Chains A and B, each alone.
Chain A
Amino acid sequence: MDKLKEYLLRHKADLDVDSPASDAWDSMESKLPSPGSSGWVVKYAAAACVIALAGVGLWMGTRGHKAVPDTVLHEKPIPKEEKAPSKDIVRSDVPPKRAPRKGRSQKPAELSDIIGAIDKSYSGLIDYQLKKLRATPLYAENGNYFSFYIEQFKQMELDEREVRNAIKAYGLTNQFLDQLINVYQQKLNLLKNLQTEINKMNNKVRERQTPADGREVHYLNI
């Protein structure tokens, strides 16, 4: 080994004669992240969130709520009819065929509040869609052409009534609530599909006919 290197390594501690300025440590300390700062806050916040979520899960579990409803919605395609206006309409068999297990039902006041809130939000949308449909002129066909949709819609209203009756009889459970929401969603989907179908047909008529052609206009009775 290099003899100078050997000598210096042996006496290295004696070479360390310099020391930083007295205020250097204060300045350094002020720039160090304090133990109580963000890192710890984030860790504690994350831990608190985990504990809170676990608590909510436990609470839900002890209340006997089910995450998944007993009944599964069966989607089936519409049987292809000669004049079926659309192929991709689906509906579900919603009404409960058997009395569900009586879980811990909600109090009547609470029940009416929840159903009232659902009614308010969904029925507003459905009404809007219905008004729009009723006001849309039918250029290509009369209202009977879309009877399939109307029948479907009527069936869904019956489904909704059954769910409501079941709620009255057995109390509001998550299962019934899901069914009610499903009926509303299906109604909205159906009306939206009907509107799309009407628009599509009207556009085709507009493309084919000249402005001079007389058009017989019908309106949907839904």
Chain B
Amino acid sequence: MYNICIRMTGNPTDAQDILQDAFIEAFRHLGQVKQPGAFAGWLRRIVINKCIQWSKNHVRWRSLDRDGMVLIEEPETVWWLNIPLQLVQEEIKNLPGGCREVFVLFALEDFGHREIAKSLGISESTSKSQYQRARKLLRERITQKTHLDG
């Protein structure tokens, strides 16, 4: 749960605050869980909702297309293979606000762009462009780091 929070916020302080809020809310509404097996999914949903709420309050969204940043999808090359996942995690956290949240929700929480758009109050095209931006930045940064590290 903490990892969802830190990926969404990019910093440990906000991640801990969100996690705390989520746990308190979960504790208060514990009676809603009818089956013990559903608990993990239920708690996860609370945590994600808290993260989305945080993003809505902290991220200033802008359409990348409108700013002239036309993102062209690159040919699918599996550049991520052989990259340590710890480094991927680190670079996800370092992504700029906006594209980071979209990337986490889409690639790791399995949201669709429509759902992300609805949750974050943005357009579907903004969600798609932010995801592409995140992918591009991730690749550039990780490639750069791996080159530097040899």
Please report A residues at the B interface, Cβ cutoff 8 Å: 2-5, 7-9, 11-12, 14-21, 24, 27-28, 31-33
Contact = CB atoms under 8 A, between A and B. Distances in A.
A8 B76 CA distance: 15
B89 interface: yes
Given A3-B78, A32-B23, A33-B28, A21 B106 contact: no
Given A20-B16, A21-B12, 10 more contacts: A3-B76, A4-B80, A12-B108, A15-B89, A18-B6, A18-B15, A20-B19, A28-B19, A28-B23, A31-B20
A15 B107 CA distance: 12
A50 B2 CA distance: 44
Contacts of A28: 19-20, 23-24
- 8 closest A-B pairs by CB: A16-B3, A5-B107, A14-B85, A15-B89, A28-B20, A20-B2, A24-B16, A8-B107
A32 B27 CA distance: 7
A9 B80 CA distance: 13
Contacts, number: 65
Interface of B: 2-3, 6-7, 12, 15-16, 19-20, 23-24, 27-28, 76, 78, 80-81, 85-86, 88-89, 92, 106-108, 110, 135
A15 B27 contact: no
Nearest to A5: B107
Nearest to B13: A21
Contact of B86 (A2, A17, A27): A17
A102 to B, nearest CB: 54
A18 B2 contact: yes
A8 B20 contact: no
A32 B24 contact: yes
10 contacts: A2-B107, A9-B107, A9-B110, A12-B108, A15-B3, A16-B3, A17-B85, A18-B12, A19-B2, A24-B19
Task: State the main secondary structure of chain B at its contact with A.
Answer: helix
Contacts of B19: 20, 24, 28
Nearest to B3: A16
A2 to B, nearest CB: 7
Contacts of A27: 20
A33 to B, nearest CB: 7
**Central interface residue in A9, A14, A16, by most chain B CB within 10 Å:** A16
Contacts of B89: 15-18
Could you say which of A9, A11, A17 has the most chain B C-beta atoms within 10 Å of its C-beta? A17
Give the most central of A18, A19, A21: most B CB within 10 Å. Answer: A18
Nearest to A2: B107
A18 B3 contact: yes
Contacts of A12: 108
A21 B80 CA distance: 29
A198 B89 CA distance: 93
A27 B86 CA distance: 27
A27 B13 CA distance: 13
Nearest to A3: B76
B27 A33 contact: yes
Contacts of A21: 12, 16
